[in-house]
Amino acid sequence: MTDLTHLTIAAALDGLASRKFSARELADAHLKKMGTLKNLNAYITETPEKARAQADASDRRRAAGEKVGALDGIPIGIKDLFCTEGVQTTAGSHILEGFKPTYESTVTKNLFDAGAVMLGKLNLDEFAMGSSNKTSYYGNVINPWKRQGDNTDLVPGGSSGGSSAAVAARVAMAATGTDTGGSIRQPAALTGTVGIKPTYGRCSRWGIVAFASSLDQAGPIGRSVEDCAIMLGAMAGHDPKDSTSVEMPVPDFRKSLTGDIRGLRVGIPKEYRVDGMSREIGDLWAKGAAWLKEQGAEIREISLPHTKYALPTYYIIAPAEASSNLARYDGVRFGLRVPGNSLDEMYELTRAAGFGKEVKRRILIGTYVLSAGYYDAYYLQAQKVRALILRDFTEAFKQVDVILTPSTPSAAFGFHDNEDPVQMYLQDVFTVTVNLAGLPGISVPAGLDAKGLPLGLQMIGRGFDEETLLRSAHALEKAANFTALPAGV
């Protein structure tokens, strides 16, 4: 039998439907492989019993001829930021160690209702703050990709680095991620996988540990645009428990992959040609535009003039919201508690021991920009610039249907690169604008750099027009024909 872990979701669904293999065999193949690739540290918690029980239930549904869901029997990993009932949910933080939610996040509930099988909870940067997975309390995740002829371990991107590494290494057929400033698209780009951040409001945030509530959005990482379309269809939908989730029908995203992009207007934003961009990335970007043109798209240069303010704006708004969201971890209700001589001392000791360095830095920045003396100078100003960034996109989308950019300024880097936090923040230069504007964005693997590492191209769409975005990304994927695999997978 072929290696079941190498199938796409689309192929696995066909195989399950025609009884070539069972959901149990599919789950077992992944669980076995997880055992051999533990060195990647992609999972914080493995849930083999749950996986087998869900797979068996799926097999019973098929045997009984019952109606099956869009992901019936498909083994996936869940970023450990989604609350899963009765299963430890850490957010990559010491402060939540041992926390077992008594409720299920809406997105994971939707996935399980669609028949998905959970292999385990995937590692991430602490509270989803980071671009490398280095900030996880549960250790680094190793990218399955290596530079040619060089055995140095590389980062899988972040914050959904466990998700991207697992999907790339074939220890999950797909995974959930969350994206506040790039955390789905950047790790997808660094691991040769596809990741889509849908429009803000497309997926419910209920039951996802909050980082920056006005920016956070869930989405899938998968091995093809089609797989992401299937996953997103199951994850999305209105949820009365999240007032920012939008009451709109969820389209059949798979149907939008028509292969026809004739007449599509593709924008190339000139401001994304940032200083010091490597030739390789610039060339790949041009190649991407040429691929779309060959298929009948029209390429237009556009301007997004406020792009240069996006990173500073994001690094004010995101920490501001985080400092408020993280105030709830006080040692009383969740996870860790370090006793003290008074209530205040207990708070202080718990938070001092429970949060890592990057999280503390963000809380400090956030508290500072929200403080009485600086609110107007920083936070209010950032909100105004955010509105201008959205306006840039609104103007651009009068001229084009989608926008093409690089996903990241570099390929996967080493654990000792980008040690300076500001350097690390620069990883998000092409992705944060999309979160600030609430738009959907997708990263598609488009080629390899000179050292054999994957590089991604990003496409950005209009709000709630994931269909055009997926159709365009599918066309890009077809032309790029990215088939490379990390060694040993």
Active-site annotation, residues: 79, 159, 183
Measure CA 277 to chain center: 23
* Selected binder of ligand GLN within 128, 221, 396, 459 (CB under 6 A): 128
Task: State both tokens at 215.
Answer: 């920016």
**How far, in Å, are 53, 124, 135, 179 from residue 220 at the CA level?**
23, 14, 22, 10
Task: State both tokens at 429.
Answer: 């230069």
Task: State both tokens at 162.
Answer: 């466990």
* Structure letter (DSSP) for residue 302: E
Residue 195 interacts with ligand GLN (CB under 6 A): yes or no:
no
* Selected binder of ligand GLN within 5, 54, 108, 180 (CB under 6 A): 180
Q: Which residue has the tokens 């959907």?
A: 440
Residue 176 interacts with ligand GLN (CB under 6 A): yes or no:
no
- Could you tell me if 191 and 95 are in contact, meaning their C-beta atoms sit under 8 angstroms apart? no
Minimum CB separation of residue 304 from ligand GLN in Å reads: 19
CA dihedral sign, ordered 237, 240, 244, 248? positive
Instruction: Output 34 or 318, the one with its CB closest to ligand GLN.
Output: 318
Residue 54 interacts with ligand GLN (CB under 6 A): yes or no:
no
Q: How far apart are CA 96 and CA 182, in angstroms?
A: 23
Instruction: Output 110 or 163, the one with its CB closest to ligand GLN.
Output: 163
Minimum CB separation of residue 376 from ligand GLN in Å reads: 24
φ and ψ of 37, to 5 deg: -115, 30
Residue 129 interacts with ligand GLN (CB under 6 A): yes or no:
yes
- Pick the piece of the chain touching ligand GLN (CB under 6 A) from 128-136, 231-239, 277-285, 474-482: 128-136
Residue 81 interacts with ligand GLN (CB under 6 A): yes or no:
no
- Pick the piece of the chain touching ligand GLN (CB under 6 A) from 95-103, 173-181, 296-304, 450-458: 173-181
* Selected binder of ligand GLN within 73, 75, 120, 130 (CB under 6 A): 130
Task: State both tokens at 172.
Answer: 């999950």
Q: Among residue numbers 141 through 170, which ones bind ligand GLN (CB under 6 A)?
A: 159
Q: How far apart are CA 151 and CA 142, in angstroms?
A: 12
* Selected binder of ligand GLN within 106, 131, 204, 217 (CB under 6 A): 131
CA dihedral sign, ordered 15, 234, 489, 259? positive
**Count of residues binding ligand GLN (CB under 6 A)?**
13
- Could you tell me if 329 and 320 are in contact, meaning their C-beta atoms sit under 8 angstroms apart? no
Residue type, 223: R
φ and ψ of 119, to 5 deg: -85, -30
- Pick the piece of the chain touching ligand GLN (CB under 6 A) from 62-70, 162-170, 176-184, 243-251: 176-184
- Pick the piece of the chain touching ligand GLN (CB under 6 A) from 48-56, 62-70, 175-183, 415-423: 175-183
* Selected binder of ligand GLN within 28, 104, 179, 227 (CB under 6 A): 179
Interacting residue ranges for ligand GLN, rule: CB under 6 A: 128-131, 159, 179-183, 211, 318, 428
